[in-house]
Amino acid sequence: MSKEFLADIPKDKKLVVELGMGDGNLLKLLSEKNQDYYFIGIEKQESYFNKAKYNIKSQNVKILHTLFEAVLPLFEDNSIHKVISVLPDPKYIDKNYKSNWEILYKIIYKKLVRQGKFILITEITNELFQPVSNYEFYKEVENLKQIFQSIGYIVLTAFEGYQENYTTSFLQEFNGDPKRIRIINFEFTKN
Protein backbone atom coordinates (compact mmCIF):
# COMPACT_ATOMS: atom_id res chain seq x y z
CA MET A 1 0.00 0.00 0.00
CA SER A 2 1.35 3.41 -0.91
CA LYS A 3 0.81 6.79 0.71
CA GLU A 4 -1.13 8.16 -2.28
CA PHE A 5 -4.49 8.06 -0.48
CA LEU A 6 -3.14 10.51 2.11
CA ALA A 7 -3.14 13.28 -0.52
CA ASP A 8 -6.96 13.06 -0.65
CA ILE A 9 -7.34 14.11 2.99
CA PRO A 10 -8.44 17.75 3.18
CA LYS A 11 -6.12 19.77 5.44
CA ASP A 12 -9.04 21.66 7.00
CA LYS A 13 -10.82 18.54 8.30
CA LYS A 14 -10.16 16.39 11.35
CA LEU A 15 -9.28 12.81 10.51
CA VAL A 16 -11.23 9.80 11.84
CA VAL A 17 -10.18 6.23 11.00
CA GLU A 18 -12.35 3.15 11.50
CA LEU A 19 -10.54 -0.17 11.66
CA GLY A 20 -12.51 -3.08 10.24
CA MET A 21 -15.48 -1.00 9.08
CA GLY A 22 -17.57 -4.03 8.08
CA ASP A 23 -20.50 -2.97 5.89
CA GLY A 24 -19.76 0.73 6.47
CA ASN A 25 -23.01 1.60 8.24
CA LEU A 26 -21.23 3.31 11.13
CA LEU A 27 -19.05 5.39 8.80
CA LYS A 28 -22.08 6.30 6.72
CA LEU A 29 -23.94 7.55 9.78
CA LEU A 30 -20.98 9.44 11.25
CA SER A 31 -19.93 11.03 7.94
CA GLU A 32 -23.42 12.31 7.19
CA LYS A 33 -23.62 14.02 10.60
CA ASN A 34 -20.07 15.39 10.83
CA GLN A 35 -18.99 17.44 7.82
CA ASP A 36 -16.00 18.90 9.73
CA TYR A 37 -14.34 15.49 9.69
CA TYR A 38 -12.80 13.31 7.02
CA PHE A 39 -13.33 9.58 7.52
CA ILE A 40 -11.21 6.68 6.38
CA GLY A 41 -12.64 3.18 6.68
CA ILE A 42 -10.43 0.15 6.35
CA GLU A 43 -11.79 -3.33 5.62
CA LYS A 44 -9.94 -6.44 4.47
CA GLN A 45 -12.96 -8.65 3.75
CA GLU A 46 -14.05 -8.07 0.16
CA SER A 47 -17.78 -8.72 0.64
CA TYR A 48 -17.99 -6.14 3.45
CA PHE A 49 -15.85 -3.67 1.52
CA ASN A 50 -18.18 -3.95 -1.49
CA LYS A 51 -21.24 -3.37 0.72
CA ALA A 52 -19.58 -0.30 2.24
CA LYS A 53 -18.65 1.02 -1.20
CA TYR A 54 -22.29 0.69 -2.24
CA ASN A 55 -23.69 2.21 1.00
CA ILE A 56 -21.42 5.21 1.52
CA LYS A 57 -22.03 8.20 -0.73
CA SER A 58 -20.56 10.98 1.46
CA GLN A 59 -17.80 13.07 -0.07
CA ASN A 60 -15.91 13.16 3.23
CA VAL A 61 -15.18 9.40 3.28
CA LYS A 62 -12.44 7.27 1.76
CA ILE A 63 -12.66 3.50 2.10
CA LEU A 64 -9.70 1.19 1.67
CA HIS A 65 -9.74 -2.52 0.90
CA THR A 66 -6.64 -3.66 2.74
CA LEU A 67 -5.24 -4.68 6.12
CA PHE A 68 -5.14 -1.85 8.62
CA GLU A 69 -1.71 -3.05 9.77
CA ALA A 70 -0.49 -2.06 6.29
CA VAL A 71 -2.16 1.37 6.36
CA LEU A 72 -1.70 2.73 9.88
CA PRO A 73 2.11 3.09 9.64
CA LEU A 74 1.65 5.31 6.56
CA PHE A 75 -0.08 8.09 8.51
CA GLU A 76 2.06 10.86 9.97
CA ASP A 77 2.53 10.70 13.72
CA ASN A 78 0.08 12.98 15.55
CA SER A 79 -2.27 13.22 12.56
CA ILE A 80 -5.43 11.26 13.46
CA HIS A 81 -8.09 12.79 15.72
CA LYS A 82 -10.04 9.61 16.38
CA VAL A 83 -9.65 5.88 15.78
CA ILE A 84 -12.68 3.63 16.12
CA SER A 85 -12.60 -0.13 16.52
CA VAL A 86 -15.90 -1.91 17.04
CA LEU A 87 -15.80 -5.63 17.89
CA PRO A 88 -12.27 -6.28 16.69
CA ASP A 89 -11.31 -9.76 15.62
CA PRO A 90 -10.05 -11.76 18.67
CA LYS A 91 -6.50 -11.58 17.32
CA TYR A 92 -6.63 -7.83 18.04
CA ILE A 93 -7.94 -8.05 21.62
CA ASP A 94 -7.79 -11.61 23.00
CA LYS A 95 -5.21 -12.11 25.75
CA ASN A 96 -3.71 -15.08 23.87
CA TYR A 97 -2.55 -12.68 21.13
CA LYS A 98 -1.51 -9.79 23.38
CA SER A 99 2.09 -9.57 22.13
CA ASN A 100 0.79 -9.04 18.57
CA TRP A 101 -2.03 -6.60 19.21
CA GLU A 102 -0.12 -4.52 21.70
CA ILE A 103 2.13 -3.44 18.82
CA LEU A 104 -0.91 -2.29 16.81
CA TYR A 105 -2.25 -0.19 19.70
CA LYS A 106 1.19 1.39 20.19
CA ILE A 107 1.11 2.45 16.52
CA ILE A 108 -2.38 3.92 16.96
CA TYR A 109 -1.15 5.84 20.00
CA LYS A 110 1.70 7.39 17.96
CA LYS A 111 -0.68 8.37 15.14
CA LEU A 112 -3.22 10.10 17.39
CA VAL A 113 -3.02 13.85 17.90
CA ARG A 114 -2.51 15.03 21.46
CA GLN A 115 -5.81 14.43 23.26
CA GLY A 116 -7.01 12.40 20.26
CA LYS A 117 -9.46 9.62 21.04
CA PHE A 118 -9.42 5.89 20.57
CA ILE A 119 -12.86 4.27 20.83
CA LEU A 120 -12.71 0.54 21.44
CA ILE A 121 -15.94 -1.43 21.75
CA THR A 122 -15.36 -5.10 22.38
CA GLU A 123 -17.02 -8.13 23.86
CA ILE A 124 -16.09 -10.07 26.95
CA THR A 125 -17.05 -13.72 26.94
CA ASN A 126 -16.45 -16.77 29.09
CA GLU A 127 -14.04 -19.33 27.59
CA LEU A 128 -16.79 -21.98 27.79
CA PHE A 129 -19.35 -19.50 26.41
CA GLN A 130 -21.27 -19.58 29.66
CA PRO A 131 -22.80 -16.46 31.23
CA VAL A 132 -20.09 -13.96 32.19
CA SER A 133 -20.13 -13.21 35.91
CA ASN A 134 -19.62 -9.67 37.18
CA TYR A 135 -16.32 -10.81 38.67
CA GLU A 136 -15.06 -12.13 35.30
CA PHE A 137 -16.32 -9.05 33.49
CA TYR A 138 -14.74 -6.46 35.78
CA LYS A 139 -11.52 -8.45 36.08
CA GLU A 140 -11.15 -8.44 32.28
CA VAL A 141 -12.07 -4.74 32.07
CA GLU A 142 -9.36 -3.91 34.63
CA ASN A 143 -6.86 -6.09 32.78
CA LEU A 144 -7.53 -4.28 29.50
CA LYS A 145 -7.34 -0.87 31.21
CA GLN A 146 -3.92 -1.75 32.64
CA ILE A 147 -2.60 -2.91 29.28
CA PHE A 148 -3.73 0.27 27.51
CA GLN A 149 -2.46 2.48 30.32
CA SER A 150 0.95 0.76 30.08
CA ILE A 151 1.07 1.85 26.42
CA GLY A 152 0.35 5.44 27.44
CA TYR A 153 -3.39 5.79 26.97
CA ILE A 154 -5.54 7.55 29.52
CA VAL A 155 -8.93 5.94 30.17
CA LEU A 156 -11.65 8.58 29.79
CA THR A 157 -14.59 6.20 30.10
CA ALA A 158 -15.22 2.50 30.38
CA PHE A 159 -18.79 1.30 30.66
CA GLU A 160 -20.84 -1.75 29.86
CA GLY A 161 -22.77 -1.40 26.62
CA TYR A 162 -22.00 1.11 23.91
CA GLN A 163 -22.92 4.60 22.81
CA GLU A 164 -25.86 4.59 20.41
CA ASN A 165 -23.97 6.71 17.88
CA TYR A 166 -21.47 3.85 17.50
CA THR A 167 -24.00 1.12 16.76
CA THR A 168 -23.34 -1.44 14.05
CA SER A 169 -25.24 -4.46 12.76
CA PHE A 170 -22.72 -6.69 14.56
CA LEU A 171 -23.26 -4.89 17.87
CA GLN A 172 -27.00 -5.29 17.53
CA GLU A 173 -26.53 -9.00 16.82
CA PHE A 174 -24.16 -9.51 19.78
CA ASN A 175 -26.44 -7.52 22.05
CA GLY A 176 -29.04 -10.28 21.68
CA ASP A 177 -27.22 -12.46 24.25
CA PRO A 178 -26.18 -10.01 27.02
CA LYS A 179 -25.45 -12.67 29.63
CA ARG A 180 -22.90 -14.59 27.58
CA ILE A 181 -21.66 -11.68 25.46
CA ARG A 182 -21.04 -8.56 27.53
CA ILE A 183 -20.04 -5.45 25.63
CA ILE A 184 -17.55 -2.93 27.01
CA ASN A 185 -17.11 0.57 25.59
CA PHE A 186 -13.71 2.18 26.19
CA GLU A 187 -12.80 5.72 25.32
CA PHE A 188 -9.05 6.34 25.57
CA THR A 189 -7.08 9.48 24.90
CA LYS A 190 -3.48 10.38 24.27
CA ASN A 191 -1.93 12.75 26.77
Q: What per-residue confidence (pLDDT) applies to 176?
A: 67
* Residues 119/183, Cβ–Cβ less than 8 Å: no
CATH, range 3-186:
3.40.50.150
What does the pLDDT read at residue 102?
A: 93
The structure's pTM equals 0.94
Q: Where are the domains of the chain?
A: 3-186
Q: Return averaged pLDDT per consecutive 10 residues of the chain, 191 residues in all.
A: 86 96 94 94 96 94 95 96 94 89 96 97 88 94 96 96 78 75 94 82
The order of strands in the sheet holding 182-190 is: 61-65, 37-43, 14-19, 80-86, 112-124, 182-190, 153-160
Q: By C-alpha distance, which of 107, 85, 84, 104 is closest to 34?
A: 84
DSSP 150: H
